[in-house]
Amino acid sequence: MKRRDFMTALAGTTAWVATARAQEPRRTIGVLGSAFYGAFPGAEAAFIQGLKGSGFIEGKNINIEWRWAEGQYDRLLSLASELVSRGPAVIVCLDAPAAFAAKAATSTISIVFGIGTDPVKVGLVDRFNRPAGNLTGVYMLLTGLASKHLELLHDLLPAARTIALFVNPSNPNARVYVPEAQAAAEALGATRGGADSQC
């Protein structure tokens, strides 16, 4: 095939793909988070830019439906159900509480999450390699930092005898973080639940 013929065929294929994409219905992407709108402006902008780099442009061939629980975890299930009613192609969850709410709201719509706790350990997915069901995502390996946090605090305040740990018991991360923090406190010589040191 001559170069001119190849370029003509390529141009025709590109035009066909562009026409086919233009004829596709505009898709909806749902985004669910437990924080406040604007809490992660850099991440939100990067998300939109990443979609744009893949050819998905908000207002052109996709709509993005944002839902924020504003720190009220009890709102997440209703917000997830609301997103499901919009018929999105995918629901993107920005944290573990949002992912659990989306999982409870649908078993058919694809859910993609980005979380800092082990998704297998907390029961979000059954395994890392090709998890069953409609969930997949990114695990940012934040689990295991509890011991580092305690060690750093101990280095800064070696004379401290009491350490308090404040967590939201509704957050699935707490089920992993608290035992790790308690084990780290014991490793530093604290007695779990004792009078001298508490974690």
Residues 53 and 11 in one domain: yes
What are the pLDDT digits (tens) for 10-58?
A: 444 444 445 545 556 889 999 999 998 888 778 788 889 999 999 999 9
Q: Residue 109 falls within a domain, yes or no?
A: yes
Mapping DSSP to helix (H, G, I), strand (E, B) and coil, where does residue 161 land? coil
Residues 98 and 46 in one domain: yes
Q: Residue 68 falls within a domain, yes or no?
A: yes
Residues 46 and 67 in one domain: yes
Q: Residue 196 falls within a domain, yes or no?
A: no
Domain boundary among the residues 99, 122, 139 is at 139
The two structure tokens encoding residue 84:
């499901």
What are the pLDDT digits (tens) for 88-138?
A: 999 999 999 999 999 999 999 999 998 878 888 889 999 888 889 999 998
State how far the alpha carbon of 19 is from the alpha carbons of 23, 53, 56, 115, 173, in Å: 6, 19, 15, 37, 46
- Supply the range of the domain harboring residue 86: 3-139
